[in-house]
Chain A
């Protein structure tokens, strides 16, 4: 456990830098901020510190339950609309479904669209890679949100969740891609976020 914590700050800094540069390349001037802490208090701290500023994210921070996350990155557009990336960091020889399930849980609870499972200097089990390649729904979850019991399923809102599985290379201090999952690369992830935020 202690090993992966040592990488949080560097991975978060890396992700923020990749996000900022890729949004810059798209001509998007979003607010991008990251934290290595519990989601609710972490967001409030970023808001108090003036790092991010949006009524919508403030409202979200008030309502979201406390969630002990490894890393989260929040992206906010000029209209205050936001998207949150949740990262689950592991430092294991191999990661698999168990670890992905944990991340899926965080995404569902927080209603965040984007998640990355990141294994530090480790691998992804072959069986898990097969699942990622063959069962697309496992990294692209479409959830029906029925705000009211009387609403029929076909009238419910669909919430998408997009997940990726990557490997942090502590020798190169950059992300290696597994080539599997809905989110394959960081520039792709940035495009997906930008398509949500406009």
Chain B
């Protein structure tokens, strides 16, 4: 190991793809729009210079490999000639596997060789140059908190976990890990199938640039440009994970929690927060003490039904028909005064409505979100299933336009999801019912919790 090899290993694990007989290596750089030749010619020129003038000498010296590149469909470094010396090293470190290395690599055998902070930082720099996204849209809350986001597709939880720990050990605290899990990518809708949106390991750019680095000048310049968007010379720090404040909101029990695609370490479990996954994976930096109060009352933070599910009327009907607990209900149409609902929300955004007992009912926030969704649908003001603009404004526009009259609310005879619909748009909102939901939860050891499917008899208790 040396500092240049540490960098190259990071770069190769981030973007490398080995063919079946381990004789060819390409390194994909998923720069997308950020590095596109047509839309960003100056940056594209810089990337080419980085590959040929900065990266190539390192590859040539360490492994006798020359580099070329292609730019379509995305940036790709092509390792030319005999790569056997490199493959020997990859074998030594246990990462010589055919396919996309970031999806299959386990860096357990590399970590002991990264026995100096600088070696860790060089390894991370290689990953930053390959999968570290610097799109200015990566930010926390606003432009004043710019982010570098290490992005991985696939289900290699172990690699993301290992990288996160390395970042921590190199003196930098990751801001957030978005795990490639249904509880992270689809917290509201258990029927959403396109939840595999990848991992995003987000680090505040100020922290990263203070401790980490880039070999690619294009990346270093983009990082500085993004930091320039922060007002007044603000320098952000995330604070150590162990003492991070946690805010948990309710999440739906997703149909894919048992998906065999998920690794065993997380399969079959429900997670209420990204730090909950960190803790279950065994990260010593996970803020377990802050998680405990939420886990002790986990029935308040899970919902076996959708939190909210926005669809077409036909799709919602299909969903209801597919589940006896919802299909076997009698639904009655409920008249409602929209101004009273808005007033209730403004008094207490967490209020529950149309419940059976104290602590049960439909969250007023989600009820109004559902009304806003169908209102926006009627008004042609949807972006996919998202409402354009402030949802209360959208409802008020529907009131002014008189279209609010078209909206119907259907309430079931037991606490299962209610339905809001108008025209071809429909949304379902799941109730809060913690005394029932607690019976669905089983503790699987440690901090693992499993939530089973709700059945008719659960609602009769």
Contacts and interface: CB of A to CB of B under 8 A. Distances in A.
B70 interface: no
Interface in B50-68: 53-54, 56-58, 60-62
Contacts of A187: 2-5, 62
B300 to A, nearest CB: 48
Interface stretch (A61-69, A88-96, A173-181): A173-181
Given A20-B116, A22-B3, A25-B116, A172 B214 contact: yes
Contact of A176 (B5, B53, B117): B53
B215 A20 contact: no
A186 B4 CA distance: 8
B118 A21 contact: yes
A17 B57 CA distance: 21
Interface residues of A, number: 24
Given A17-B118, A177-B57, A25 B1 contact: yes
Given A187-B5, A190-B2, A171 B119 contact: no
Interface stretch (B142-150, B216-224, B428-436): B216-224
B61 A179 contact: yes
Interface in B1-53: 1-5, 53
Contacts of B118: 17-18, 20-21
B4 A185 contact: yes
A173 B118 CA distance: 13
Nearest to A123: B53
A196 interface: no
A184 interface: yes
Q: Residue among A171, A172, A177 with the most chain B CB within 10 A?
A: A172
* Majority secondary structure of chain B interface residues (helix, strand, loop or mixed): helix
Interface residues of B, number: 28
Nearest to B114: A25
Nearest to A184: B61
Contacts of A125: none
B119 A24 contact: yes
A18 B60 contact: no
Interface string A83-108: 00000000000000000000000000
Contacts of A26: 2
A90 to B, nearest CB: 18
Interface string B71-82: 000000000000
B247 interface: no
Given A171-B220, A174-B215, A185 B61 contact: yes
Nearest to A16: B118
A184 B214 CA distance: 20
B113 interface: yes
Contact of B3 (A21, A176, A184): A21
Contact of A21 (B57, B60, B62, B117): B117
Contact of B116 (A24, A177, A184): A24
Contacts of B184: none
Given A18-B3, A184-B57, A187-B3, 5 more contacts: A22-B2, A169-B217, A171-B221, A174-B213, A191-B2
7 contacts: A18-B3, A21-B122, A22-B3, A24-B115, A172-B54, A172-B220, A174-B215
Closest CB pairs A-B (n = 8): A187-B2, A21-B118, A21-B116, A177-B57, A24-B116, A179-B57, A25-B1, A172-B220
